[in-house]
Structure 1
Amino acid sequence: MKIMRTLLIAIIFGSLTTSCFEDRDDNVILSSSIHDFVWKGMNAVYLYKAEIPDLANDRFTSNEEYGNYLNSFSSPEELFESLIYQRQTVDRFSIIVDDYIAFEQALSGTTVSNGMEFGLFRFTETSSEIYGYVRYVMPNTSAESQGIKRGDIFYGVDGTQLTIENANNLLGSSTNSYSINIGVYNDNGTPEVNDDSVDQTTETIELIKTPYTENPILTHNILNVDGNNVGYLMYNSFTSTNQFDSELNSVFGEFQSANITDLVLDLRYNGGGSVNTAIWLSSMITGQFTGDLFIREEWNNEIQAQINSSNPESLLNPFVDEMIKYNSNGDIVFQENINHLNLNKVYILTTRSTASASELIINGLNPYIDVVQIGATTTGKYQASTTIYDSPDLGRQNANPNHTYALQPLIFKSINSEGFTDYDAGFVPQIQLNENLGNLGVLGDINEPLLAAAILDIQGIGRIGNSTQNAINFFKDSNDFIPFSKNMYINKPLNFYYYEN
């Protein structure tokens, strides 16, 4: 049974933001209540608060000064961006949204999509012109009905050549329909990529976006390799919905029943998501480390000190033997025993699109088992966030009914059991093998190049790689057009950290 010891977030959100004003009699002069919410929310929980002078508890000496400060910003978004620490290098991921209902749907895997998941590349390292290639197509979507397939190349949208400058307008979430101009990839007979080109054709295909919930399990199968069963799973998002978490556990039940000797976990297009699901997936891969530390959390100095004094165990995230979810009252709302494989080695396929919770799998497992990474270097995302609402305790309940703004700021960094964190440059694979756009292969097929490299290593035949630099010219992928698609977030309500078991 969980007993609330102290709701510390109320202390932080209340005393730290209101006691900073010495003149208690001044009338508050606010440009809007949304601006007030943005500043107070960031002041309460932002991981890099100490690095932002405007978030200091003693920044304002009166309510009037505070109100004038808020009034100096033309929009909540402008205020929010002014409070971000080193946007281009350190905090690339905190966001503000003006419609948290749509945002919540996106976190659960529901977006407006035409079903075509793609990557974008510059023609050269310095080129502004770009082209796209189809990574995979989701079932029962416009892309599937139009015959789009993995490996298709497109160079333009509605007759306009794609560039770094126009990609957001042509392919972004505000565009519900468009036609792609189909091209043919030409490597010009050399292994280098900087002389590659896309030959234009007259073919166009119209695609229409509709609301869609993507199952993160794109494909899985059991392969026979020299008489042994090898499990393969392409997992594309840590959405942490009960249905998809349960389906993931069922896949591992199949692997367990088949007595697989090796597992190839394909995270090459997985931008991350739920910390909880990452812990559960890692616990499914193993099983022999239940109770041992997977990752620990490090918050900003103020919150870290408060949690350490009230419930330090809540900062520790161990391997587990069951999936459990709680509501804000501490009641269990989902529970299921985990199927374990007890493996001592796992193969993980990655690209530059592999981020956050996917990287958490690598970092959390590294101290315990042999993690063989194949593909390209990952994004480099070790911080987690949570959704902050305009309510007395920053939670969803009792949120201000006058607007639908919410914040998703970074709130803690993840650290593995050996103390490793801050992997801004990403994880570099032992077997470097970039996807060959002229030979992408079929996902899950034993001859698909990245999977084939894993199988060769399993067989002990040797490790293959390539020296092409496709990753250098990588620009964006389809997930980059969806807010928060490459973040890592906690599902636990903030008051979880102030419960005592």
Structure 2
Amino acid sequence: MKNKLPIKSTWWGMALLSVWLLSACRKETDIVTPTTSSTATTENQTIDKWILENMQEYYYWNDKIPANPDLTLAPSDFFDSLLYSYDATARPDGDRFSWIEENADDLSASLSGESTTTGMEFTLYLRSQGSTSVIAQVLYVLPNSPAAAAGFKRGDIISKVNGQTITTSNYASLLYSGATTFSFGLASVQNSTLVDTDVARSVTATTFQANPVFMDSVYTVGGKTIGYLVYNQFVPAPNNSNGSEYDDQVDAIFSKFKAREVNELVLDLRYNPGGYTSSSANLASLIGKNIDNTKVYFREEWNSTLTPYLKQQYGDAFFLQRFVTKSQNIGGNLQRVFVLTTDGTASASELIINGLRPYMTVTTIGTTTYGKNVGSITIVDDSGKIKWGMQPIVFKSFNSLGQSDYSTGFTPTVEVQEPLNLLPLGDVNEAMLNEALYQITGNRTARRGVAEPNHLTSLGSSIQRKAGGGRMIKSLSNFKPIKL
């Protein structure tokens, strides 16, 4: 169990922190009293008051909260009613990321990489322009997961679920309803056309802890020694761990890179939606050139209500995340870093790009990133009476040069679309990695056939539906209560 951090009646801390709530003892009885409308309203008011109190203090846009919100609303609706919601025209600076969940334990677990899952992530596409039929293209499969055991691999195309053709009207109920048993029917690309096959694979989702360190490799090409890391979430350790197992694994990879005298680096964050800012700082500290624990990685801006109190109790250092001095740092051998990106690259991943740019050249390859320059905290009730968990946005981030201009994402330095026929991650002929190797060496490696271009319309991905979509979460250890 990770540290609990009290502020008033709230434990709050890193959203990826695992938080346990104490359950109130209940005496069993033979009489079951039905919940009345009045009882439900009273319960809603209790929860809503707790939500409102915390949002008024910690929410980044707390000055935009309505003066007289309706405390009889269901908690999720009430929470939404408080948000300074994004609108492209009226509120382009608005909130796209705050959310609330009914079970705080499930929230904490999912943010630590533990969830009920088949173990594969996918992007949904319209099968053809103007069609209502939908396909799911598998982006990656977690090792030792149910999907891996069933034989799924990157690039597989799913066209049916439980015997039903996926469509624009049923894909949510087929794929995101909370069901755990699936029979997936596959399609294949034949002569540039998607064709259904007779192949079907059955998978049962289980509670599974994902390791964010997906793969690493070292390539020697054109006299260059190139390190490659696929990193899919900023998580320091498994759920319910007090340790830093995953951060330690990243450290070990960079120790190997240093021993191999890696002088170019390709960081694959194309499917990384974010996570702990501490893990982001750890990774950046392994890469940055001429950095140490005196150099600023990023700075935070909190709301005007809370800022004076934070300054009074903790000083200006509270708002600064500095680099960490790491013996495994390879920045001395690097002049630049290449980052592979998609619209699934978000939050703490974008922090890497923005935070390293003042210190070295960061070349992005792929497609435009998600665009999240704000961070959140987890808020739960320490008494155990309220089981909900909130993840409100509480700060905006800036790099050491005061830059925070990526709310619409980072446009790639070199644009590369993922094709319809996906090669394995780490394959030197895979489209994005191949482009990075070309940018480094000037030598285009021979491709295994011509990649089928993917002109299909995307309907989003399973990665974007993970808790929070994109996450950049503040780690607050040894935090003392603040009285406002």
The AA in structure 1 aligned to 2:442 is: G
Preserved contact between residue 296 and residue 321 of structure 2 (Cα < 8 Å): yes
The AA in structure 1 aligned to 2:84 is: Y
Q: CA deviation at 1:248?
A: 0.7
The AA in structure 2 aligned to 1:169 is: S
Aligned to 2:63: 50
Aligned to 1:356: 347
Aligned to 1:191: none
Q: Secondary structure at the match of 2:116?
A: strand
Distance 1:31 1:215, change over 3 A: closer
The answer to whether structure 1 residue 93 and structure 2 residue 97 are counterparts is yes
C-alpha offsets along residues 242-285 of structure 1, whole Å, 9 cap, x if unaligned? Answer: 11011111111110111101000000111111111111111101
Aligned to 2:396: 413
Distance 1:11 1:125, change over 3 A: same
The AA in structure 1 aligned to 2:262 is: I
Distance 2:436 2:257 in 1: 17
> Aligned-pair RMSD on alpha carbons?
2.9
Greater shift, 119-128 or 164-173, is seen at 119-128
Q: Secondary structure at the match of 1:93?
A: coil
Q: Which consecutive unaligned segments of at least 5 residues does structure 1 have?
A: 1-6, 14-28, 60-65, 189-196, 323-336, 391-398
Aligned to 1:488: 472
Distance 1:107 1:427 in 2: 24
Q: CA deviation at 1:496?
A: 6.8
| Alignment partner of 1:387 out of 378, 382, 391 | 378
C-alpha offsets along residues 452-490 of structure 1, whole Å, 9 cap, x if unaligned? Answer: 1111111134899x9998588222222233322422111
More helix by share: 1
Aligned to 1:151: 155
| Alignment partner of 1:294 out of 271, 293, 297 | 297
The answer to whether structure 1 residue 139 and structure 2 residue 143 are counterparts is yes
Distance 1:309 1:402 in 2: 32
Q: Secondary structure at the match of 1:353?
A: coil
C-alpha offsets along residues 61-112 of structure 1, whole Å, 9 cap, x if unaligned? Answer: xxxxx8xx412x1x10010010111246532211111111122111221111
Preserved contact between residue 271 and residue 355 of structure 1 (Cα < 8 Å): yes
Distance 2:10 2:222 in 1: 59
Aligned to 1:427: 410
| Alignment partner of 1:112 out of 109, 116, 123 | 116
Distance 2:301 2:205 in 1: 39
Pairing of 1:262-411 with structure 2 (within 5 A): 262-286=264-288, 288-290=290-292, 291-310=294-313, 311-321=315-325, 339-342=329-332, 343-390=334-381, 399-411=382-394
TM-score (norm 1): 0.80
The answer to whether structure 1 residue 445 and structure 2 residue 396 are counterparts is no
Could you tell me the percent identity over the aligned residues? Answer: 33
Distance 2:288 2:137 in 1: 35
Q: CA deviation at 1:173?
A: 6.0
Q: CA deviation at 1:9?
A: 4.9
Distance 2:271 2:186 in 1: 22
Aligned to 2:258: 256
Preserved contact between residue 268 and residue 354 of structure 1 (Cα < 8 Å): yes
Aligned residues between the structures: 432
Distance 1:49 1:453, change over 3 A: same
Distance 1:185 1:50, change over 3 A: farther
Q: Secondary structure at the match of 1:253?
A: helix
Distance 1:424 1:130, change over 3 A: farther
Q: Secondary structure at the match of 1:480?
A: coil
| Alignment partner of 1:205 out of 201, 206, 209 | 201
| Alignment partner of 1:216 out of 207, 212, 218 | 212
| Alignment partner of 2:172 out of 154, 168, 172 | 168
Pairing of 1:221-236 with structure 2 (within 5 A): 221-236=217-232
